[in-house]
A and B are shown apart, each in its own frame.
Chain A
Amino acid sequence: MRIPILLLMTALLPCAPALAQTDAVPQVKVGATRDPVDKSYRKMMQGVDRFERDHALAPQASLRFRLLPRQPGVDMQGVKLRIAGDTVSVPLPLSEDNSFAPVRNEQALREDAVLIANRKATTMSWRAQVLTPGLPPGTRRLGDLRLECRTGMDSGLISNDPAIISWLSSMLYSTDKVCSEPDGNYLFFTDRPLLGVTLVHGERRVALPFKMLYAGGEQTPASLPYCDCQVLLDRSYYAPLWDQSWPDDTLLEFDYMDEVAP
């Protein structure tokens, strides 16, 4: 859910007319971490519960959570993550794509533990990752994305916005609204820069409009740092989660900027 948060944040900023991304900056490696990324373990497990409850949207899919770069220059190599409570400390091994499988730990739940990464709070964002195995390369399944949105929202993992913005956002936007209404605006990301996305179901094919790519094209230099698409703008898209005329088995086919045209 980026645009609502973005709108709230930009309300507190000077207006800026131009569209652009931030300039590239040198990569920064953070050693000892003050103000580390941390998320509520209980909230994350609420997302796991939601995934299990709504699994019919993607019956073959499994759930992971994935860490994504949020700021320019963040080093995504060697990220370490653990569940930390008063007495419990459980390392969560990350795969090459910086994703991890959630684990249930009753003691961590009792201790209201947090997930702590060895990166500063604003440098990374999170997403649930719901993947049905065996899909054609360069595609996602709409039911997976619907479940990913619900799981991600219930997990409260969406970036580290300032507390007041998170509070305002949670007041205004529930999981059901964000994941079931046309103005929900839950952002998804691909692994490579996008030129187009096409919905495919049986004989039906239609491209998503430009307004559903690149975070809606609504970012300005002033607002971009408050979007967790900050360094992933060219990989971001919205999916028509709300449109039941496109069933869960609908595929989204990606046309990447770096692919040679047929």
Chain B
Amino acid sequence: MKWLMIPALLSLAACSGTRALQASKSVPQATLEQTVQVGSSTRDQVRAALGDSTSIRFDSGNEVWMYTYPDGSQAGGEYVILFGADGVVKKVRRGGVYKLSK
């Protein structure tokens, strides 16, 4: 049955470039904190000020966007913004993250 795997894997290689998340954008933390205001900043305002970065939209209408910022570590810190279905910032989280070795 190995013949079945060969076209599947070749096809997989051909598709792999389209599946990756958009790369996250690195922005100084001070800029992030000044730009993103919980309860008032909108998606359009954040995009205009910071540019596009990694994002996912869910069926609920919620969206999460993720920027990185230099924090002295190799990976940098993560700044994750939750937009509600109304397009306004609902919540943020920030900080250093677990180093993923895979």
**Residues of A with Cβ closer than 8 Å to B?**
7-8, 10-13, 15-17, 19-24, 72, 164, 167-168, 171, 182-183, 193, 195-196, 199, 206-212, 214, 217-218, 220, 223, 231, 233-234, 240, 255, 257, 259, 261
Contacts and interface: CB of A to CB of B under 8 A. Distances in A.
Among the interface residues A11, A16, A20, A182, which one has the most CB atoms of the partner chain B within 10 A?
A: A11
Interface in B24-54: 24, 38, 54
Specify the main secondary structure of chain B where it touches its partner: mixed
Contacts of A19: 21, 55-57
Among the interface residues B1, B64, B82, B92, which one has the most CB atoms of the partner chain A within 10 A?
A: B64
Interface string B52-73: 0011111110101010000000
B96 A195 contact: no
A218 B97 contact: no
A7 B8 CA distance: 9
Specify the main secondary structure of chain A where it touches its partner: loop
A217 B54 contact: yes
A231 B60 CA distance: 10
Nearest to A24: B59
A252 B43 CA distance: 30
B90 A257 contact: yes
Contacts of A20: 57
Nearest to B55: A19
Contacts of B101: 182
Contacts of A17: 18
B21 A218 contact: yes
A218 B20 contact: yes
B12 A231 contact: no
Nearest to B10: A11
Nearest to B13: A11
A238 B66 CA distance: 18
B82 A257 contact: yes
Contacts of A164: 4
A196 B82 CA distance: 11
A35 B38 CA distance: 48
Contacts of B55: 19
Contacts of A212: 98, 100
Given A11-B8, A218-B19, A257-B90, 9 more contacts: A11-B12, A16-B18, A22-B59, A193-B58, A209-B78, A210-B64, A233-B59, A257-B62, A259-B91
A107 B20 CA distance: 49
A49 B51 CA distance: 52
B8 to A, nearest CB: 4
Given A19-B57, A193-B58, A206 B14 contact: no
Given A23-B59, A207-B95, A217-B21, A182 B102 contact: yes
Contacts of B59: 21-24, 72, 231, 233-234
